[in-house]
A and B are shown apart, each in its own frame.
Chain A
Amino acid sequence: MIAVEVKELTRRFGNFTAVKKVSFSVRKGEIFGFLGANGAGKTTTIRMLCGLLVPSSGQARVAGLDVYTEYEQIKKNIGYMSQRFSLYEDLTVRENIRFYGGVYGLSRAQIKERTEELLSFLKLHEQAHKLTASLPLGWKQRLALSTAMLHNPQIIFLDEPTSGVDPVSRKNFWLLIYQLASEGRTIFVTTHFMDEAEYCNRVSIMQDGVIAELDSPQELKKKYHASNMQSVFMNVVKRAQNEPDSF
């Protein structure tokens, strides 16, 4: 089953084309890594897929829904977490969850049920009554993930979720991601940590608005005779930078 399907997706800003005829698809339950240099077009693509930005041309379906016409439905079917966790620092953990439950339009009973489920899943029970401001970053990150999952989305977009987080919390976060994927959820993740690219089932590397590479980390390493994804990334991006610019 296909969770995200993109065909020749394009977005222009004035005379600058940020995303140029990009095509790919993501399977249900897949961990899909979305890599690229700053300014390569990753965020623009994600915003179109989340129903936040209308494409200039091309097609995209997320959870079977059309980004042009069914964007409100898309928002109900996806979870989104960014590196700038949008948590209220002076609310407690439980209050943040309740607040986002309201935002997602859940009933009181649903909020109560989901809060308990998420606190258990993320092992945040002991912190539930603490102010968010007092939590270490690794826990804030787990809380941000839980608020993105309140409405039980089948597709989760994670935009640099681990930037600045300590190595232990970073690894624990990835174990959570594996668990979500094993439940059949689709994970669409961007990162600048190349060791995290290794954790993905497939990885795409964007460069200047196009997808320069898309394959499993194993195949990409074979293709570039590289021992790790860091050197694959360097190879792909530098090769693209050395090619004459198209305009």
Chain B
Amino acid sequence: MACRSRLTPLIRRAAAPGLLRSATAANSVPCAARCISSTAARHFRGSALRRAKFTTDTYPEIKRDERFSHITAEHVAFFKGILGKESAILDGVTAEVSGDDMEPYNMDWMRKYQGHCKLVLKPGSTEEVSKILKYCNDNMLAVVPQGGNTGLVGGSVPVFDEIVINTSRMNQIRFFDDVSGVLVVDAGVVLEVADQFLAEKGYIFPLDLGAKGSCHIGGNVAANAGGLRLLRYGSLHGNVLGIEAVLPDGTIVDDLSRLRKNNTGYDLKQLFIGGEGTIGMVTAVSIHCPQRSKAMNVAFLGADSFEKIQQAFREAKIQLGEILSAFELMDSYSQNLVHTVRQNKRPLEGEYPFYCLIETSGSNSEHDAEKLGNFLEDVMSKEIIADGVLAENETQIKSLWAQREGIPECLGHWGGVYKYDLSIPLGDLYKLVDETRKRIEDAGLKGDTDDFPVVDVVGYGHMGDQNLHLNIAVRRYDKRVEEVLEPFVYEWTGKVNGSISAEHGLGIAKKNYIGYSRSETMVGLMKQIKNLYDPNGIMNPYKYI
């Protein structure tokens, strides 16, 4: 098949410019590196050249907690004694460490948050984590547990001089059961490594997101990451069977159950899922992995109103229930911007106010294709859907997905993006986008020329999970735009009982806005938990609640 390899790049260039998804994995299993969008990410062109501001400059109101000790040479000597190896410690306290070496631990990938950390520890085992945390707790040293550092809300980087405890050396796959699909891994295993390991066994990791090549599973669990497979496989709260974690006092929470059912007492592991490292550090995870689907089909549809899209979603659940694996929403504004930036061929001939992408995955390609075909015929004949296309091969599957996955990248084309990641009841989901657009227009901030800061207000997201990404593409960041957006967006979301952070967490970015989604009583109860497990408050301070 000499030709196949030569053909591939050519077709790809012709059919799918700016493709985001990675190449197909072995054995026809589509293994896509899809991009999820980010919240409050402020991308600039050439941002890599821009020096990030220190978090302490962005948030001058945050003061260092003076209960915490400053790190001394004596502390460092103790950690060296525990970890032994030179490579397991990055010591900027007693030695010179270049900024470039420290930066990956001190700064998030968006270059939005930067701390003043001088000490990075990379324990190789749970016991080492336990010894480190106990010592830190006894000596009032604040710490930040850190995985692949791919978070979107600044939860995994220090603010002041907190010690970073990085999971990268804890990277063993401990156990896998071919029959039940239970996988036990160290916290520092990279998501893609675990997924490739599972692919060889015919299984799939129940979580998929854009950062899969660098994020650590421990971090995914601590952040309760959502991603594109959530509609099909559910949240980590359901898939994680057990957790091994270390409390600040050094206690090892050994709850690494491999059982799907275990109704014995309080389910304490749930506190660590989405706990963002504030009550303890996750060191290992036991997770239930589903069978990898052999067949995948994708359709891209256009509809005349948001109501019609909801009907289509309803029908998709009825007719495609067991094979439906994604239902993604895109508005015409987002698709127009993608088209403007990429100058590609649009999938549909006409233009419609709303588009959706439906993906099915199952075990039998012909069967799935027939079901999807019948569904499409049905929604077309009932005039729920105005037009649509069905991908006939892998290339078309990829180029249709690129219409959805290319949105975050294309939005950044003009300079910056204000991003909100919200959970909103389905019926109201799109109203927020319309109202936000109107507010921006009324304020005279949106226009086609450089005089206006705002390019457009767009909405897209994981319709199946009631998860809206409200994005405002801008030419430059402008206080006036921020005043129109905040706290309006949060207030609006709170009013409809939505969540101000659907899948990205709180970290430092949204700490102050939790009140829009949780009552005082709820936040009070959370604080009790925090004080119970971390009475000295050394775990990931200044963030979360």
Partners in one complex: no
Query: Which residues of A are interface residues toward B (Cβ below 8 A)?
Result: none
Query: Which residues of B are interface residues toward A (Cβ below 8 A)?
Result: none
